[in-house]
Structure 1
Amino acid sequence: MAPTLTRIINDMKLRTKLFVSFIFVVFVPVLIVGLFLTVQLREMALGNAEEQTAADIQRVKVRTSELLNVAYDSAYRLANDSRLERIVNRKYETVYDVVEAYRSYPDFKELLRLYKEISGIRFYMDNPTMLNNWEFLQPDKQIMDAPWYRSAQYTSPGIVGWDYIKDERDGKMYLSLVQKVSFYKEQTSGVLVININMALLNSILKQETFDTMIVDDNGKIIASNRAGWNGSTLDDIGMDRRVISETEGIFRSDVDGQASQMLIEPLIPKSSYNSLRIVSVLSIGSAVKDANRINRLALTVVSAGLIIAILLIYAVSTILSKRMLKLSKHINKVATGNLEGALEIDGKDEIAQLSRQFNAMVQSIQSLMTEVQESNRKNMILESKQNEIKLKMMASQINPHFLFNTLESIRMKAHLKGEREISQIVGLLGKLMRKNLEAGRRKTALSDELTIVRCYLEIQKFRYEDRLHYKLEIDPEAECAGIPPLIIQPLVENAVIHGLEGKEEGGTVTISVQAEGDRVHVSVADDGTGMGREQLDKLRGTLDAAEEEEQARIGLRNVHTRLKLSYAGNPGLDYDSIPGKGTKVRFTIPWGGDADEV
């Protein structure tokens, strides 16, 4: 699974990777957190609204109870008033007696004056001698058939009822206390009705934030802070029928076409055979309005941030893609072999650093190619010189004159002395010829080179007899050192021919090889005629000339050139000469013969 995912990611383009990373690292977490916070904020707002509604309902309950208690206390006082009993049970003979009796009982008016919570008091009594006025009324058939009146008739004394009824005197609806008042002495009874001040009751509800109402047992809305709801039923405002009959609790229901949450709190007045309910309707939309506004604002800000982030990612990915494409094109250009021109990518980021490293690599490649080309050129020249030295040693150094003199000497010796010495010289000549023919290898041991030198000197000693002497001062440790072939023999030949041949008494050639540290020092010295400064300078100029002349010192120049080509930084041959004293030529190579080799 992991390798597959890694391969899929690696196959994506850089821009796609950035967008996918943004989606999973930023967008998805922000979306999840946003949804979680939105839900939590809505729930918190709804919970706070519920707590506030519950507190409001309790406040309404307390204040409404205080309002109802005023009516209850007044009813209790009137139900136990003996004067009221005498007035309603007296048989009046004249109208004057009735008026005087009513005038002598100002208690109804006094209660209305003392308590603003009460808006009206009336007493229903079946006494044909009484007259109907604003306070004392004869119940007609409509009144006696009213549910509230009949309920009062069948209740026990001292038990009250609360009903939403119309006052026939002004035609308005009131929440009224209805109580049966029994007069035991007279064996009669009447019905006391005390109207609650509806303006005061509505004012209590209007102080609440949410829609709040007082409902009776029949679902009739007695008072409400919502215009148009008074006198309606819960069914009229679209409340769920399953909730209408509930007396207490928290319920979800559509009210007036809106999803709402309802809190129902029972209100049971003292000594009442029925009860009221306080219903608070919490519109969920209104409760979470601020939360929704905050969520919309947050959504707007987050969306703007995400859009800006997407634009930035697009811009950054475009810049990165262009720079990477530029780098890719330059790499392809270099891959085709075009190393000209440097890659120019500004900045200090990884791509710029990669471009600088790539430029450095290209420069290194160019340098290496230049070095390789130079090395190949030198190797070609060196190979050419190696072939040239073999041919020229065969054709020039072992020239017809040398062979003629050697063969002449062999002939004379053969004539005078016999075959032993002739055989030795011929053996040396053959060995020398074989060593020269084997000189095609790039490197040879110093001991093999010295063998050639000894052969050559022995042949020359056969020629010059006592005029030629030689010494070999060889450090045994240096004999295994690697050295270019035919590098010492041309120097010895030059010492014999140019140093001693013109000296009648002859001389000595000294070959010295010494190991010192990681270097091998080689010198060839003679005590012959030597050279003056002018001749020595001319020789040095010939060695360093770009082109060699036909009759130039072929062997010396070849050795000098091969030393410089074979070892980086090698100065070649170094000459010292004193006229009449002799000449010394020396050179130095690294131990092993290849430490500094090109």
Structure 2
Amino acid sequence: MTGRFRNWLDDRLNNLKIKKKLFLLYFYCMILPLVLTDAVIIGLIVKREYDTKQETSRGIVSAVKYSLNSAAEETVMLSKNIYFNKYINEFLNTEFQSTLDYYNQYQELLKDSLFDSSLGTSNSIIRMYADNGTIVNGGRFWRMESVEEEKWYRDFMDSGQNMQMYFYYEDAGPTNPSPVKKLSFVRKLDRYKRDKYNKLLRIDLDYNAINQGMTMANYGGDVYVCSETGQILLSNTGLGNSSQNYSYISSVGYRSGEYTERMAFYGQELTIYVMPYSSGVGEVMIKSFPILVLMLLINVLFPWIFMNALRRNFVERIGFLSRIFNYSVEGRLEEIKSIHGTDEIASLMRNYNIMAQKTNSLIETVYKSRLKQQEMNIARQKAELLALHGQINPHFLFNILENIRMRSVLKQEYETADMIEQLAVMERQYVEWGTDMVTIGEEKKFVEAYLRLQKYRFGDRLSYSIEIQEECAGYKIPKLSLVTFAENSCVHGIEDKAAKCWIFVKAYRQEEKLYLEVEDTGSGMPESYLYYLRERMENANIEMLREKGRVGVINACLRLKMQTDGNIHFSLESEKMVGTIVTISAPVKYFREGDKDAEGTVSR
């Protein structure tokens, strides 16, 4: 599976441009990790602050519960003492004869130590109610009818409970001169089921003290103790005062999602809302938002600038290298002239230059080979044209020569007939150019035919010697090349000298070189002409064949140079009235048939 995915990924990436690959590298290796890392860090910070707030809120709620329960338990204990006090119960059940009788028994009750111990020492206001019509309202004892119309009484009676903690707002009345918030604990005094009167206990807790206690407590957040309807019963924010009616939690801008916890408070369901003070991290982040944005931009822009510079450095050089591969001047690969750096691309460019140099060298070699092939063909065609220019209707000439030879045979002029036959052979070689290459053995026959003709002309003035080393007889050279030098010896050496002359023609091998020599003992040549001819032989070219005058030697030298790729040496030595010697030397490999094919430099 992993290998298949890797192959799929490689295929996709191989079809993307380098510019897009670098963008993907920037996005997936810089931007995405940066965003994910920052998101995780911010998420951890937010979660940490949230957890801290939750922990703080739970602590605050526990403290509030403890504070409320402490105040409530003291009140409940007080109500319990009253609930089990038989003197109080008997007093409430007594039918008084008159107001004076009520007053006297009330004083007796006060003298009882159990009554004082039942009431305790708290600041709570204690009132006991009974539907005993003989009770005189005032102090701690009241007739039930005095509160039957009040809301707290009706709510308590409707609840069906025996005891209840009750928050309420009491309007101005007989017991209080002005409206006030109250927290009361109401309990039925029904320990004795056979009592003929219903009795009720109400203990008014010190609301201001409880609320002030919450305000003074360092909770570390805003706390709201609310009723089921959302009224704010207690708070540490100093919200309103005891004379103002309860406000609602919706009026203080409470945000949903803040910590809340329900609490059963002696028959009343309370909800504690906590908005802990921020730990400062969020505020710091908000205040530092411009700096955070700046840092984010730096984290994004700086890598982008660097990546863009890297992209230009990478893509542009690769693009330049791609263009240079497709660019050539006159069939040659263009080399990169300025290469900077030592990275892999610079190394690739340098390797390209090496390849271009080798390729150009190979192209040049092939072109030169083709050019030499063309030059050889042109030289051969030139030689053919020169030969054609030197004859008029060669077939007619051959027929005439054959008639003359037969006539000489009929007249028994055998020597003349033989010379005419040799002349016909020579002329036919000059005219027939089906191939430009002959073996040295074949060339020897042409030289011998030519020299026999010249001996017929000069008689005893001319003698010749032809020596061909046996292993050299199979080497191939351009046709009539040796004949040309032999002819030059006859024309320029023998004709101008009356004394007897010799012509020596040799072909031999020494080590890995083939030597061709044509020597005569003729009249020689002037030193100025010697230098002139030597220079033309060394630098023979096609243009020289177009010049007027005798170009036979130049033709032979040019064809020999083409055969050997210029790896040939011409030596020309001459002395006046002593003679002339022409020595041609070149590596044997250019004259072997197999080696020439292997070299690929000799054309036909």
Q: Aligned partners of 1:7 and 1:386: how far apart in 2? A: 56
Q: After the TM superposition, which residues 434-445 of structure 1 pair with which residues of structure 2 at under 5 Å, given as runs?
A: 434-439=428-433, 443=437, 445=439
**Aligned residue identity for 2:570:** L
Contact 2:225 2:234 in 1 (8 A): yes
Contact 2:225 2:270 in 1 (8 A): yes
TM-score by length of 1: 0.66
Give the equivalent residue in structure 2 for 1:591: 589
Shift of 1:430: 2.0
Q: Aligned partners of 1:585 and 1:212: how far apart in 2? A: 125
Query: Is residue 2:276 matched to residue 1:265?
Result: no
- After superposition, the Cα gap between the structure-2 partners of 1:493 and 1:151, relative to the gap in structure 1 and judged at 3 Å, is same
Name which of 183, 200, 214 aligns with 1:175.
183
Shift of 1:36: 7.9
Contact 2:536 2:554 in 1 (8 A): yes
**Aligned residue identity for 1:526:** E
Shift of 1:336: 9.8
Q: Aligned partners of 1:227 and 1:283: how far apart in 2? A: 16
Name which of 463, 469, 473 aligns with 1:468.
463
Contact 2:325 2:333 in 1 (8 A): no
Q: Aligned partners of 1:447 and 1:508: how far apart in 2? A: 18
Contact 2:57 2:276 in 1 (8 A): no
Q: Aligned partners of 1:477 and 1:209: how far apart in 2? A: 119
Contact 1:210 1:282 in 2 (8 A): yes
Q: Aligned partners of 2:480 and 2:284: how far apart in 1? A: 102
Name which of 203, 212, 237 aligns with 1:193.
203
Give the equivalent residue in structure 2 for 1:237: 249
- After superposition, the Cα gap between the structure-2 partners of 1:256 and 1:94, relative to the gap in structure 1 and judged at 3 Å, is closer
Contact 1:49 1:287 in 2 (8 A): no
Q: Aligned partners of 1:469 and 1:256: how far apart in 2? A: 140
SS at match of 1:511: strand
Shift of 1:585: 1.4
Q: Aligned partners of 1:522 and 1:325: how far apart in 2? A: 57
- After superposition, the Cα gap between the structure-2 partners of 1:155 and 1:462, relative to the gap in structure 1 and judged at 3 Å, is closer
Shift of 1:475: 4.2
Please list the CA deviations of residues 552-571 of structure 1 after superposition, one character each: whole Å capped at 9, or x if unmatched.
Answer: 97444444455446544535
- After superposition, the Cα gap between the structure-2 partners of 1:333 and 1:532, relative to the gap in structure 1 and judged at 3 Å, is closer
The more displaced of 463-472 and 378-387 is 378-387
Shift of 1:381: 7.2
Name which of 262, 268, 273 aligns with 1:275.
268
TM-score by length of 2: 0.66
Shift of 1:173: 2.0
Shift of 1:479: 1.9
- After superposition, the Cα gap between the structure-2 partners of 1:70 and 1:449, relative to the gap in structure 1 and judged at 3 Å, is farther
Name which of 491, 494, 502 aligns with 2:488.
494
Q: CA RMSD for the aligned pairs? A: 6.0
- After superposition, the Cα gap between the structure-2 partners of 1:258 and 1:177, relative to the gap in structure 1 and judged at 3 Å, is closer
Q: After the TM superposition, which residues 171-570 of structure 1 pair with which residues of structure 2 at under 5 Å, given as runs?
A: 171-182=179-190, 184=192, 189-195=199-205, 198-200=208-210, 203-204=213-214, 207-209=218-220, 211-216=222-227, 219-226=230-237, 228=239, 236-238=248-250, 259-261=255-257, 263-269=259-265, 272=266, 274-280=267-273, 289=282, 293=286, 301-303=295-297, 305-306=299-300, 414=408, 418=412, 420-439=414-433, 443=437, 445-463=439-457, 467-476=462-471, 479-481=474-476, 483-496=477-490, 502=497, 504-507=499-502, 509-514=504-509, 517=512, 520-526=513-519, 528=521, 540-541=534-535, 543=537, 554-564=551-561, 567-570=564-567
Give the equivalent residue in structure 2 for 1:123: 127
Shift of 1:164: 0.7
- After superposition, the Cα gap between the structure-2 partners of 1:590 and 1:6, relative to the gap in structure 1 and judged at 3 Å, is farther
**Aligned residue identity for 2:167:** Y
Structure 2 residues not aligned, in runs of 5+: 1-7, 392-396
Contact 2:447 2:486 in 1 (8 A): yes
Query: Is residue 2:165 matched to residue 1:162?
Result: yes
Contact 1:71 1:194 in 2 (8 A): no
Q: Aligned partners of 2:419 and 2:209: how far apart in 1? A: 155
Q: Aligned partners of 1:202 and 1:449: how far apart in 2? A: 140
Q: Aligned partners of 1:585 and 1:65: how far apart in 2? A: 136
SS at match of 2:147: helix
What percent identity do the matched residue pairs reach? 20
**Aligned residue identity for 2:81:** R
Q: After the TM superposition, which residues 92-131 of structure 1 pair with which residues of structure 2 at under 5 Å, given as runs?
A: 93=101, 98=106, 102=110, 106-107=116-117, 111-112=121-122, 119-126=123-130, 128=134
Give the equivalent residue in structure 2 for 1:66: 70
Give the equivalent residue in structure 2 for 1:115: none
- After superposition, the Cα gap between the structure-2 partners of 1:485 and 1:107, relative to the gap in structure 1 and judged at 3 Å, is farther
SS at match of 1:164: strand
- After superposition, the Cα gap between the structure-2 partners of 1:551 and 1:416, relative to the gap in structure 1 and judged at 3 Å, is farther
- After superposition, the Cα gap between the structure-2 partners of 1:551 and 1:71, relative to the gap in structure 1 and judged at 3 Å, is closer
**Aligned residue identity for 2:233:** I
**Aligned residue identity for 1:434:** R
SS at match of 1:145: coil
**Aligned residue identity for 1:214:** V
Query: Is residue 2:571 matched to residue 1:574?
Result: yes
Contact 1:500 1:526 in 2 (8 A): no
Structure 1 residues not aligned, in runs of 5+: 113-118, 239-254, 398-402
Give the equivalent residue in structure 1 for 2:394: none
